[in-house]
Amino acid sequence: MKAVEVRKAIGTVSLHAVLGLGALVSLFPFYWMFISATKTTSQIFATPPSLLPSVHFIRNFTALVDRIAFLRVIWNSFFIAVVFCVVTVFLCSLAGYTFAKFKFKGDKIIFSMILLTLMVPYQATLIPLFRFMVWLGWLNTYQAVILPTAANVFGIFLMRQNMLGVPDSLLEAARIDGAGEFSIFARIVMPTMVPAISALTIYMFMFQWNNFMWPLIILSRDMRTIPVALSGMVADGQVINYGAVLTGTTLSTFPIIVLFLFMQRQFISGILSGAVKG
């Protein structure tokens, strides 16, 4: 019996050691980015490298603000990401509810065709999408970044998988009581989807916050988002201040970290609850 307990303890310690090593490897790039935001360019590329922070964060932040309109850029990214999340969650929830709880002719074929669009490379859609935005007169507007990908295929799939678990008897009882379909959706289905909504919100916020190619194409300099602005600091032909660039990168990661920490329990629950539905 003692031998079994010893093997179990060794296995537990080994597992925690492997997981701890994996966590360190995963977190090290973030740590390096954070400490590099406090260094000058020469300190960042010093040999051997130092793993301790320096004292130049304010200097780097000042250089960052001098090169780009940082507050404006952050506002552009934040506004686009938040509105995109709200619109995407609403549209994907409606579509997921439709495919999960309504049976109509060709529903499986339509859903399969929607999933097949995931096989189309995103880059192949940029030129026709740009021409369409020109036709609408939406160049250099927020809606040109928000609306084209609002009906997100992954979001529809995620919400459908979670909504399959809502009991049909519960919906039928609400219909018998005289509730309309939208009332059922808003008052009964959506409150039970908080974990899935949290997971979708984190995914969509990260997608839009880090979106680079499409905002680069469709937005002008005054409407730039944070990834586009930071890339411009490297590609504008001037001497690259890597301390300032990494300061901007560090500051831009905080909204995502805060959002994940705030919603991590619901995020994990939402992912797992949709993983086993057929």
pLDDT of residue 95: 93
Mean pLDDT, residues 94-102 taken together: 92
- Residues of the chain with pLDDT > 70, as a percent, come to 94
Q: Residue 116 — pLDDT band, cuts 50, 70, 90?
A: very high
Does residue 190 contact residue 197 with C-beta atoms inside 8 Å?
Answer: yes
Question: Which has more pLDDT, 2 or 234?
Answer: 234
| pLDDT exceeds cutoff 80 at 276 | no
Backbone angles phi, psi at 68, to 5 degrees: -135, 155
pLDDT of residue 131: 94
| pLDDT exceeds cutoff 80 at 6 | no
Residues 137-157 have pLDDT tens digits of 999 999 999 999 998 999 999
pLDDT of residue 240: 82
Q: Determine which of 179-183, 227-231, 238-242 has the lowest per-residue pLDDT on average.
A: 238-242
Mean pLDDT, residues 232-239 taken together: 75
Listed residue (238, 241, 246, 211) closest to 226, CA to CA: 211
Mean pLDDT, residues 85-112 taken together: 92
Q: How high is the mean pLDDT of the chain?
A: 87
Using alpha carbons only, give the angle 60, 43, 239 rounded to the nearest 5 degrees: 60
Listed residue (209, 215, 244) closest to 228, CA to CA: 215
CA–CA distance, 65 with 123 (Å, rounded to integer): 32
Listed residue (31, 34, 29, 151) closest to 98, CA to CA: 151
pLDDT of residue 58: 92
Structurally, at CATH architecture level, domain 34-273 sits in Orthogonal Bundle (1.10)
Reported in sequence order, the residue ranges of the chain that DSSP labels E, i.e. its strands, are none
Listed residue (275, 257, 230, 258) closest to 64, CA to CA: 230
| pLDDT exceeds cutoff 50 at 106 | yes
Residues 21-47 have pLDDT tens digits of 998 998 899 999 999 999 998 999 888
| pLDDT exceeds cutoff 90 at 83 | yes
CA–CA distance, 213 with 126 (Å, rounded to integer): 9
CA dihedral 62, 145, 263, 256 (to 10 degrees): -20
pLDDT of residue 178: 86
Q: Residue 278 — pLDDT band, cuts 50, 70, 90?
A: very low
| pLDDT exceeds cutoff 90 at 195 | no
Question: Which has more pLDDT, 11 or 271?
Answer: 11
Residue 20: alpha-carbon gap to chain centroid: 25
